[in-house]
Amino acid sequence: METKANYVAVGAFVLACAVGLVVTILWLAGVQYSQEYAYYQANFKGPVTGLGKGTLTRYNGIEVGRITDLSFDPADPSRVIVTVQVQPNLNIREDSIASIDSQGLTGGAFVEISGGSANSPLLVAREGQKYPVLRTKQSTFAQLQQSAPEVVAKLNVAASRLNDLLSDDNRRAIAHVLANLDETTQAVARRSADIDATIANANKAMANLSDASNNLRPTLSHVDLTIQKYGKVADDADAFINGDGLAQLSDLIGEMRRLVANLTQFSDQLNRTPTKLLFGDRRKGYEPKGDGK
């Protein structure tokens, strides 16, 4: 009888513990589900490899939530709509941008929300949108993945051109050029004394040229003074021509012409009657004789 009573007590205790555990789990679940979250959508163009339900979502590098749903855009199957659940107090701004990043080359992918300035308004759902829609961009790793084939193609072209450059004929030509360069270098080294002497002579010539330039400066000063004097003469001549001097010169020339004419006339008379200048004109007029009584 006592043994049966102990079994009943043990069973009741286990049952009470189980009920308490269930109540605790339900309470914790209720607290978790009663917590509010904020939901956003991000439309990614192209593949979203590595993303799935439950994938981490980070905001400026800090874990803030997870992905709750992924679906194709009915209007554009190449776009994937990613729904993220984040903490309600993030206050994500309109200039925030979502991208797909990964933890290193081999790490798992996650959604990274970056940016967001204090002056930008809060991101809210617009008319016809279930959740606010984040702007998206390709991550650096995704850009590298997309550009990798082009980079490899360019590397192949560069390798092919390098092989053409390093052909046997080009290698022989390069070796010949290097040999000529070595010979030229040796010739220059042998003539280094002559080169030094040439440089010294050039320096001396430059010094002589500088001295000649200094000696030429007084001559240039005299030339400048002479030019100034000629300029003054030209100014005086211009004043003489444009002033009364030209009229006076014309009058003087007229007087000289008249003087020359008079002298010419006097000379002609002297040639015809040279005695007239010495004895005067002795010719007398005819006087008729009268009756002398």
Residue with tokens 């030019």: 227
Where do the structural domains in the chain lie, given as residue ranges?
A: 37-138
pLDDT at residue number 82: 93
pLDDT at residue number 281: 54
pLDDT at residue number 285: 47
* Residue 228, helix vs strand vs coil: helix
Distance between CA 120 and CA 97 in Å, rounded?
Answer: 13
Using CA atoms, how far residue 122 sits from 115, 130, 133, 236, in Å, is: 12, 16, 12, 89
pLDDT, tens digit (0-9, with 9 covering 90-100), for 194-215: 788 888 888 888 888 777 777 7
- E-strand stretches of the chain: 38-45, 56-59, 62-73, 76-86, 97-102, 109-114, 133-136
pLDDT at residue number 292: 46
Distance between CA 134 and CA 98 in Å, rounded?
Answer: 6
pLDDT, tens digit (0-9, with 9 covering 90-100), for 103-149: 766 678 899 998 888 899 999 989 888 899 999 987 666 666 667 77
Low-confidence ranges of the chain (pLDDT < 50): 1, 31, 33-34, 284-286, 292-293
pLDDT at residue number 35: 54
Distance between CA 228 and CA 224 in Å, rounded?
Answer: 6
Q: From the CB of residue 220, how many other CB atoms can be counted at a distance below 10 Å?
A: 10
The percentage of residues in the chain with a pLDDT greater than 70, rounded to a whole number, is 74
